[in-house]
Each structure stands twice: as structure tokens, then as C-alpha cells.
Chains A and B, each alone.
Chain A
């Protein structure tokens, strides 16, 4: 009995101590972080438990699937809603969110807390944080570095009979392609082939028309064929850059790739459809954002050395890849801005960023990616570094949504529906964009 009482006291005392240790401070807040519903978001939930313990604040998460993410969250911001205290918004939103006052400007906060943008990969600072681009006005902290790259079935590539047939046909070894032309040859080679008793196809590429899919796909080819968003010397001059001779060839290439080498019915595919096709053994190559790579490695069908990774191959006029990823911002309508800034301060710490990378998030902090052990820390780490060195992003103008949807319509109409020519599609795009910029008062 005495023993029992003693144990009871001990447990009570330990419980009380634990309660005191983790009890929330008087000004503890419940913060809501809004982001897309995908694997990295789940990793962030786990990571944020450390923040909850350290700060006493509690974290709530509002995740929306990608296809509805922009609709849902931009509605929230445009209506001045207070659902989100922290927003990991898409990189294209920066311009509109900064000009419309949705995000808190972070310059003073960064200065006060000693957070410097020099510590982050330059492309991510430009892509996720700055508005206007190229100026030191920061509206977000780079949160998740992402880029379009490629995954391939290494186990299929390594088959001796496949290797031999490829070498005989193309006169070179079957390996990860270095150019877009090589990529197309490989995709053509696998299209309709029988592997392990199943009919397989060449490549899963982005073709989705509703949100941003086909644009995020086709730009990986267009950039490398000479497409430019505007005259580098004269902003918003589009003609001859958007629809340059090279850009037309690039668009024709993407259509050829779609026609020759994709699975039937892949007319509206984006991230999740490509993942499904790849994991289920339908395709040899998969175009997708880098965020999926940890999931590929962990998958029993395609992980554990069965997959290889390579950066978007170069084209005749350049070597670029489409930037993805997001920065984390404090929503100006939040009444818990101090606590939200605390979260950003915590998230910017090198040890947290290191843990972020280890748990499946892509850190954009130089201290993490430039660490000597980084490149060999995961099978895809070097590809991530190579890809982040060649990124280019879509317009981040306040009118980005109109610009994006115009491109979606024009490109999908040509590539998937086969209407008109590539020249007509890009001429039309240049006209659409000029009209949008005219409405914006840019001319």
C-alpha cells in the first residue's frame, strides 16, 4: 500500500512537472497554416510538432488538393478571410498578393531577426520571395524548393536485351538522356513495348488543361528551344520572343512527344496521374516535380534502386527547367501575426531546415544543400541540385491567372486537340498576353 501511494505521488509529481514544462504561455495562439494537400504537407505537420513544443502555440493545418488549391486559397485571400495565418502560396501569387496587400512585407522582420536572403538558393529567393522581381522586397521565406525533373525505370533500362536492342537501333547505350532529342528517342523506343509481359508506354508528360498542368510541362521544352517571356531589354514586348522561331519548334516537339510516346488517354494528366502511371508500371519515363521523388524511392514497385532521376534535358537553344515550389508568407488579415512570424523565425533555422530535408521537404537553405554530404544523402539529391541550377519561372505578375489560363488554352488546344499550328498557337498566345498587359496598363 505504502509502495502504491509512493508510486502515485511520483506519477502525479512527474505529470505536474511535465504539464508545467509544456504548458502554453499566456499568449499561446492557435495558428492555421494553409497549403496544398500533398506529401510535403504531411512532412511539415510532423516537423511542426517541434515548433508547438518549443513555442507553446498550437498548429492547425488547412490543406487543399492541388487542382483546387489556387481557387480555394485565392478566394480566401481576395475576400480578406482570416482562415489562414500562414500561407504557403504558389510562386506565381507573389505579385498579386503583394500588390493587393494579402501578405505582410517581411524585410523589417528579416532584418530584426538576422535572417538574410543570401542564405537561400538565389533562384528560390527570386521565385518565391521577391516582388517586384529583382528588387530586395520580400513577401515570403523560401519554404519548399521544387523543380520539374524526370524519373526513369532504371530496372528496365538495365535489362541486357533492352540495352542491346536500343544500341542496335540508335547506336548508343540506353541511359538517362542529355538532350530532349535523346529523351524522345527513348520514349519512342519504349512506346508499345512489352516489358515483363505487359504493354508499356514511353513517357508520362503534363497535359492537364484546367489549372496549370500543360504550361508547367511545355515550358520545359519551350525554354530550351529559345522561348522567352518578353524582350529582355524591353519589358512586356512579346512579339518575336513568345512566338520566336525556336519557340514554335519547341511547341511542335512537345506535340510530337505527346503524339508518339504517351499512354492513350493521357490527355488531361498532371502530377498525380503521372505518378500513378509510373508507379503502376505503365511508363518508362515520368516528367514531374521533384517533390514526388521521396515517394518514388519509398514505393515497393519502383523504389529501392529501380528508379533513376535526371534533370530536364537541354535543347538546341538552352538548358532550363520549370521552377515549382513555394515560399511561406504571413497573411495580413491574420490577427496572430506575431505568432506567425515566430513560426517563420523557427522554420528559417538551419537545424530545422536540415530536419525538413531529411523528412521529405526540399529545403532551399544553402547551408543544407551545399553541405558536402547533401548530394549523396538521397539518390535524387544531386539531380535536385542540378535542376535547381537551371530553373526559370512563369510570370508572377498580379494578372498571372489570366496569363496562365491563356497559355493553358492555347497550348492544350494545339498539343492535345491538334487544332491549328504551333505558330498560330504562339501568335495567339502573344496576342492574348498583349491584351492582358494592355488591360493592366503596361503599354
Chain B
């Protein structure tokens, strides 16, 4: 385990800030017309990373994945950043819960 013990709130907050600052270099999904681009995104297995989800639609969406255990609102015309991983190698399906018919995607951890 990379964490020996639960961190103090302050140092955790500092870390979150530090990570958020570098989020631009990390992995990005875009929602447009209730579809994810790219529909398949390759991410590194076994390490932490940040996943940014940009919603370019005029309506809110919810990024949801049972396998990734994520459930997060992406407000209209906004983006969210999620700390992810470390993931086991494999594929992880996700949907936009508010438009499940069209908004489907998959992370592939290698």
C-alpha cells in the first residue's frame, strides 16, 4: 500500500491542491451530445492518475461506474477532476447515468 496511515486533513488538502494543479497533463474525457469522447481511454495500471471529465452539453450528466466505484455529477458546461487508481489491469465500463442509452465508455488499464 502506498499509504502507511490516514493522512491529516491539512496535508491531504495540500496534496489535492498540488495534484489538481497538474491535472491538465492527465487523462481527459469529453461529453458532447450525451456521448463520451474518446469512448475507450487507455490509462496506466498500477498507479494513481487524474481523470478529467468535461461536459460540453447544456445539461448536467452523472459519471457513473460500478467497477470504478465512482458516481459524480458533471454540471452542464463544466468539468470535474477525479482522483483515480491505482487500477488493476483490465477494462472498466462507465456510463453517463442521465443518458445511459448513448453515454457509454470504457477505461482500459494497461
Partners in one complex: no
Chain A interface residues (CB < 8 Å from chain B): none
Chain B interface residues (CB < 8 Å from chain A): none
